[in-house]
Structure 1
Amino acid sequence: MIPAAPAAAQTAEPGLNEACQTVERKVYQDIRELVTLDLDTATDAEIRLLAYRILEAANADSLPVLPDNIEERLKGAAGDLRAFLKTGLQNAWSVDLRLTVNRTLTGAGPNVAAAAQEALDDEAIDAYLAYLNNGLYDARALDCAAAPTPTPSATPSAPTTVAPTPSSSGSLGAPGEGGEGGGLPVTGADTAIVAGIGGALLLLGGAAYLIGRRRRSRFAA
Structure 2
Amino acid sequence: MRWKLSAGVLVALAFMIPAAPTVAQAQVPGQDAACQTVERQVYKDLRELVTIDLDTATDTEVRVLANQLMAEAKREQLPVVPDAIQKRLDGTADDLRAFLKTDLVSAWLPALRIEAYRTLTDAGTNVQDAAKKALDDGTVDVLLAYLNTGLYDARALDCAAQPTPTATPTSQPTPTPSATTTVVPTPVSSVTPGAPGGEGGEGGGLPVTGTDTATVAGIGGALLLLGGVGFLIGRRRRSRFVA
Q: Distance in 1 between matches of 2:82 and 2:171?
A: 54
Q: In the alignment, does 2:168 pair up with 1:116?
A: no
Q: In the alignment, does 2:154 pair up with 1:139?
A: yes
Deviation at 1:151, TM superposition (A): 1.8
Q: Distance in 2 between matches of 1:5 and 1:28?
A: 16
Correspondence for 2:35 among 12, 20, 24:
20
1:10–1:27 CA contact under 8 A, matched in 2: no
Counting aligned pairs with the same residue, the percent is 56
- Aligned residue number for residue 177 of structure 2: 162
Which structure has the larger Rg? 2
Q: Where do 5+ consecutive residues of structure 2 fail to align?
A: 1-12, 184-243
Q: Distance in 2 between matches of 1:156 and 1:65?
A: 56
Q: Distance in 2 between matches of 1:91 and 1:10?
A: 28
Provide runs of 4+ in structure 1 moved above 6 Å: none
Q: Where do 5+ consecutive residues of structure 1 fail to align?
A: 169-221
- Aligned residue number for residue 60 of structure 2: 45
Normalising by the residue count of structure 2, what TM-score does the alignment of the two structures yield? Answer: 0.63
Deviation at 1:51, TM superposition (A): 0.1
Q: In the alignment, does 2:67 pair up with 1:55?
A: no
| Aligned-CA RMSD value | 2.4
Normalising by the residue count of structure 1, what TM-score does the alignment of the two structures yield? Answer: 0.69
Aligned length, in residue pairs: 169
- Closer, same or farther in 2 for the Cα pair 1:156/1:91, shift >3 Å? farther
Deviation at 1:164, TM superposition (A): 3.6
- Aligned residue number for residue 150 of structure 1: 165
1:5–1:34 CA contact under 8 A, matched in 2: no
